[in-house]
């Protein structure tokens, strides 16, 4: 069947066969199908949707369009390989907590992550705030480090899921990003190509998430879980809240420092990031071991209490060329040149936050990129002292702004303050975990 016929078939809402999808993705990846025809098909998918079978077929075709990680060397002696993926948000540093926990529990969790483009840095940007740490690793290095320490976090392979790279660039300029089947296939193709047997998805919902409402987040989670299980991977999802930044630190080195606080069981660590991280780890362990979820949670808390998880993170940092002393003593991280307090403009309860707006304020300070060419400032960001439900008096410390560029301070402060609302009554508490999809 020609690409014209495939477009016409999908335009009529008909189901594409696995062979049609495989041919389509192979021909588009190699340049046999032009962008204008793929754009037409993407719009047809956006308007007509895809069945679970189609979306699973699309995911597998995309995953097989480039390199596929072979993790068999990690499972030869009965080991199990795990992965955890977040759909992204503001202050989300759970990867640096969940991954060491799972390694401390005896499992292998090798992650390929990306850089950020938007209001905050990505996982790789945050890791690279640790002096000397390398994220550009060969496949052999990636597997060797994961085998030795149980975890490794590297940048994505240049040829991992090339079909997704081409298709996403096209979707970005053709108003076809907001399609559940295309979003799910994009995310899951990378997870399938990365090779892990068990995949836990952290699907965010709220003002700082891509999926703003719970219904959309649930639809995306269901689609991705069905794809993962349909591709032979044990997959589940937690829908977690992103109506408020996760933790208090928003930035790169600031978030690494906060993750270390959680790994150290520091009483100063924010309760929300500690709770979400422990819940994710417990559910991932439950996927692998089964049994009682409460018992899994106790195992998670034990490797935190005993310092084993913290040691695993320091081992990984050292193995990737970083200075482990920064994990053992985070006060070594370089501070921004300007650390400026933001005072509360009024007294009352913090009632609501525009989480994305706070992320944009952090980007303005240098913590994120507006364009791909922008340079990240690892020490830049925002630290929040009060979050929804907290009471503050006029003139008290609301936040700290960290930046090397004093020219952006006024605008960033204005953006931050515009993103926070106050009330005279205690706001309704929002759950950290909204739903579990398995």
> If DSSP codes are grouped into helix, strand and coil, which group holds residue 240?
strand
Catalytic annotation, pick one of 9, 10, 84, 85: 85
Distance CA 401, CA 399 (A): 7
Distance CA 353, CA 373 (A): 29
Distances (CA, A) of 174 to 46, 165, 168, 309, 373: 11, 15, 10, 44, 22
Q: Going along 100-207, which residue ranges are E strands?
A: 109-113, 151-155, 198-205
Contact 358, 385 (CB under 8 A): no
Catalytic annotation, pick one of 93, 165, 171, 286: 171
Any bridge partners for residue 249, and if so which? 383
Give exposure, 92-110, as e/b (b: 16+ Cβ within 10 Å). bbbbbbbbbbbbbbebbbb
Give exposure, 338-348, as e/b (b: 16+ Cβ within 10 Å). bebebebeeeb
Catalytic annotation, pick one of 84, 190, 218, 369: 190
Any bridge partners for residue 343, and if so which? 397
Catalytic annotation, pick one of 83, 125, 164, 354: 164
Strand (E) or helix (H) holding 209: none
Is 171 annotated in the active site? yes
Tokens of 120: 């905050």
Distance CA 409, CA 352 (A): 23
Is 164 annotated in the active site? yes
Is 346 annotated in the active site? no
| Short-list 201, 254, 206, 83, CA closest to 153 | 83
Strand order in the sheet with 420-423: 391-392, 348-353, 420-423
Is 343 annotated in the active site? no
Is 190 annotated in the active site? yes
Distance CA 243, CA 213 (A): 10
Contact 130, 323 (CB under 8 A): yes
Contact 108, 71 (CB under 8 A): yes
Token look-up 């700290």 returns 400
Catalytic annotation, pick one of 129, 179, 186, 207: 186
Contact 20, 6 (CB under 8 A): yes
Token look-up 């008096």 returns 393
Distance CA 360, CA 49 (A): 32
Tell me the catalytic residues. Answer: 85, 164, 171, 186, 190
């Amino acid at each position: 069947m020609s690409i014209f016929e495939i477009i016409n078939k999908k335009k009529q809402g008909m189901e594409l066969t696995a062979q049609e999808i495989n041919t389509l993705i192979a021909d588009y990846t190699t340049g046999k199908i032009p962008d204008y025809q793929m754009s037409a098909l993407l719009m047809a998918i956006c308007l007509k949707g895809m069945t679970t079978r189609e979306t699973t077929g699309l995911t597998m075709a995309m995953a097989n369009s480039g390199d596929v990680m072979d993790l068999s060397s990690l499972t030869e002696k009965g080991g199990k390989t795990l992965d955890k993926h977040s759909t992204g948000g503001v202050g989300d540093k759970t990867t640096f907590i969940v991954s060491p926990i799972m390694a401390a529990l005896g499992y292998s969790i090798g992650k390929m992550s990306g850089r950020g483009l938007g209001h905050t840095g990505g996982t790789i940007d945050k890791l690279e705030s640790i002096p000397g740490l390398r994220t550009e690793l060969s496949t052999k290095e990636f597997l060797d480090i994961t085998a030795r320490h149980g975890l490794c976090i590297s940048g994505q392979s240049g040829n991992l899921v090339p079909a997704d790279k081409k298709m996403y660039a096209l979707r970005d300029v053709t108003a076809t990003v907001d399609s559940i089947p295309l979003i799910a296939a994009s995310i899951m193709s990378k997870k399938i190509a990365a090779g892990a047997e068990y995949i836990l998805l952290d699907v965010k919902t709220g003002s700082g998430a891509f999926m703003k409402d719970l219904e959309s987040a649930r639809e995306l989670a269901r689609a991705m879980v069905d794809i993962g299980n349909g591709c032979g991977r044990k997959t589940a999802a937690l829908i977690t809240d992103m109506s408020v930044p996760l933790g208090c630190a928003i930035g790169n080195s600031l978030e690494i420092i906060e993750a270390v606080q959680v790994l150290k069981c520091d009483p100063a660590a924010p309760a929300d990031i500690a709770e979400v991280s422990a819940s994710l780890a417990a559910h991932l362990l439950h996927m692998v071991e089964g049994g009682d979820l409460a018992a899994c949670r106790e195992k998670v808390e034990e490797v935190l209490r005993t310092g084993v998880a913290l040691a695993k993170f320091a081992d990984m940092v050292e193995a990737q060329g970083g200075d482990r002393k920064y994990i053992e003593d985070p006060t070594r991280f370089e501070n921004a040149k300007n650390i400026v307090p933001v005072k509360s403009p009024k007294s009352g309860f913090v009632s609501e936050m525009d989480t994305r707006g706070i992320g944009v304020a952090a980007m303005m300070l240098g913590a994120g990129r507006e364009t791909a060419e922008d340079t990240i400032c690892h020490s830049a960001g925002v630290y929040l002292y009060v979050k929804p439900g907290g009471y503050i008096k006029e003139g008290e410390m609301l936040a700290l702004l960290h930046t090397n560029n004093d020219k952006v301070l006024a605008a960033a402060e204005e953006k931050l303050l515009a993103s926070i609302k106050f009330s005279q009554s205690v706001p309704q508490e929002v759950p950290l975990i909204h739903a579990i999809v398995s």
